[in-house]
Amino acid sequence: MGRWEPGARERLVVAAVDLFTEQGYDATTVTQIAERAGVTKSTFFRHFPDKRDLLVAGQETLSRLLTEGIAQAPADAGPLRAVAAGLERASSAMGPMNRELGPRLKAAVAASAELQERDALKSVGLADAMTTALAARGVPDAAAAVAGELGVLAFKRGYAEWSEGERGDEDGLAGHLLAALDELRTASASLD
């Protein structure tokens, strides 16, 4: 595969997840990732500053989609209904590659403290994006923060169920995300 063929970014992510799964994060080098993806090392660095950033590939897009969905929710939508609109919008960008990578990426993160730290930062960034979008709709700060955090939890739970579930499931990612949000809404109501 030529180094200038399209899809280099996606190939780099897949190659990295495969190598992290096979030999561990610490033992994997940028050179190995680039070779597995069929690109040069300099191509790797055009897409990512280092191998840790492979974990957050697409975070900007995901944040943008979540905030667009929240902004486009009906004007009378409450905070969690707006978060649900954001989750639905974000799910539209997730395809078969995301589903296939999910369990392997989860295993790679679980095996590396450095990746766990990066994953935690990703969650903080997504929660902040949703909180900011909700605040822009006039949601009070505390409610926006809680709804943003619930949105992140719903995304993580729903994505895990979708990526690890049966391939013929009819709900798709959006169904899993919305079910997770409903479950969290119910759970939070019972905390009193």
The more confidently predicted of residues 134 and 172 is: 134
State whether residue 65 is helix, strand or coil.
Answer: helix
First to last CA, the chain: 58
C-alpha–C-alpha distance, residues 96 and 168, integer Å: 12
User: Among 76-90, 109-123, 129-143, whose mean pLDDT is lowest?
Assistant: 109-123
- Give a three-class secondary structure readout of 73-108: CCCCCCHHHHHHHHHHHHHCCCCHHHHHHHHHHHHH
The more confidently predicted of residues 158 and 93 is: 158
Burial (0-12, 13-18, 19+ Cβ within 10 Å), 69: buried
The pTM score is 0.85
38-93: pLDDT as tens digits: 999 999 999 999 888 887 777 888 999 999 999 999 999 999 999 999 999 999 88
Residue in the block written with tokens 């690890």: 164
13-28: pLDDT as tens digits: 899 989 998 998 899 9
Please give the single-letter amino acid code of residue 43.
Answer: T
Instruction: For residue 99, count other CB atoms closer than 10 A to its CB.
Output: 17
Can you tell me the mean pLDDT for 131-142?
A: 97
The answer on pLDDT for 6 being more than 70 is no
CB 56 within 8 A of CB 123: no
User: What DSSP designation does 140 have?
Assistant: -
Please give the single-letter amino acid code of residue 37.
Answer: A
CA nearest neighbour of 178 among 53, 108, 92, 62: 92
The domains found in the chain, sorted by start residue, are 8-54 (1.10.10.60), 59-189 (1.10.357.10)
CB 129 within 8 A of CB 66: yes
Identify the sign of the CA torsion 71, 72, 74, 75.
positive
Can you tell me the mean pLDDT for 100-112?
A: 86
| pLDDT recorded at residue 108 | 86
The more confidently predicted of residues 143 and 171 is: 143
